[in-house]
A = this chain, B = another copy of it.
């Protein structure tokens, strides 16, 4: 279908257009697969990535809402909402920042650490398989 259109525009290479469409498709499918995996374990991609991020932070055991938003490249309100869910699930603890009362520190609970360890192997397995199988 693309060729019929692409012919009509200068400087457009149908192969590249198809590549871009394939990229979006493959990316979306992988994201969808991961969301399903996480959902079956009471998580979501963003919840999971938050846990990893705090776990892997060198020299510290907590991050602020703003830091999480920046590093995961999502808006702060989304992080706020996600943290509320994670706290209710007992996977993180939220405490005051001693130096700045505006800020909050988010750290993993033991439960959060366990959950992370429990979910990681499957996560990498899905990523690994995705690149071994379908993708171009």
- Contact flags (1/0) for A123-136 with B, using CB distance below 8 Å? 01101101110010
Instruction: Give how many copies assemble into the complex.
Output: 2
- Contact flags (1/0) for A1-44 with B, using CB distance below 8 Å? 10011100101110011011101111110110000000000000
Tell yes or no: A60 within 8 A of B by CB: no
Contact across chains for B20 and A31 when beta carbons are under 8 A apart = no
Q: Complex formed: what's the CA distance from A33 to B124 in Å?
A: 28
Tell me the dominant secondary structure on chain A's binding face: helix
Q: A4 to chain B: which residues have CB within 8 Å?
A: 56
Give me the interface of A with B, judged by CB distance under 8 Å.
1, 4-6, 9, 11-13, 16-17, 19-21, 23-28, 30-31, 52, 56, 120-121, 124-125, 127-128, 130-132, 135
